[in-house]
Amino acid sequence: MTIFPRSIEEWYKPLTREEKIWIALAFIVALTLAGTTIAWHFIDRSHQVPSIAVEADPREFLSKAMEFSRTYSGKVVPEGTDIYLAAVRFTWIPSELILKAGVTYRIWVSSPDVLHGLSIIGPGDVVYNVMVMPGMAYVIHVKFDKPGEYEIRCNEFCGIGHANMIGRIRVVG
């Protein structure tokens, strides 16, 4: 009886065949899940959680992003240029990026104020989400294969204007 005290002889029963099979299977499933994510590091190097992050002074980072924004406003970012993207309450700096399809870019993303999140949402159900941390710059490598229009949205609640943090990435051929 599950709700009454019992002596050990009453509840310590051998496991049935089904129970033994299920214990083994449950652990095998967990091992499969864990094994797959570890194996993925070797299967596909180019679809991974970015692993590089460096400490970044909030003010310095913001001025870098603003400078980048001024330089490349309305222009295609040339290959080999580092992109600085700042999440600021309640906007992205720069709010629009024009990138070339098929080119790998390095994006530094950080925030001068509070915690934010970077969502890249694009055509064909493309979705990427990472956190944007104040004081820490995340280094993301990204290569858009095809031209198209992607949205960047904030995915971590950052205040009243959180929903308005929408920027754009235009990928041109």
Question: Shortest gap between Cβ of 78 and another protein (angstroms)?
Answer: 19
* Geometric angle at alpha carbon 35, from 29 and 39, rounded to 5°: 145
Beta bridge partners of 116: 132
Indicate the residue among 153 and 170 with the shorter CB distance to another protein. Answer: 153
Interaction mask 40-79, another protein, x per CB under 8 A: x---xxxxxxxx-x--------------------------
Nearest CA among 80, 87, 95 for reference residue 61: 87
Interaction mask 94-133, another protein, x per CB under 8 A: ----------x--------xxx-x-x-xx--xxxxxxxxx
Question: Shortest gap between Cβ of 120 and another protein (angstroms)?
Answer: 8
172 interacts with another protein by CB under 8 A: no
Site for another protein in 139-158 (CB under 8 A): 140-146, 151, 153-158
Q: Which long-range contacts (CB under 8 A, 24 or more apart) does 1-7 make?
A: none
Q: How far apart are CA 126 and CA 143, in angstroms?
A: 13
Q: How many residues line the site for another protein (CB under 8 A)?
A: 84
Q: How far apart are CA 112 and CA 93, in angstroms?
A: 11
Q: What are phi and psi for residue 112, nearest 5 degrees?
A: -90, -10
Question: Shortest gap between Cβ of 69 and another protein (angstroms)?
Answer: 21
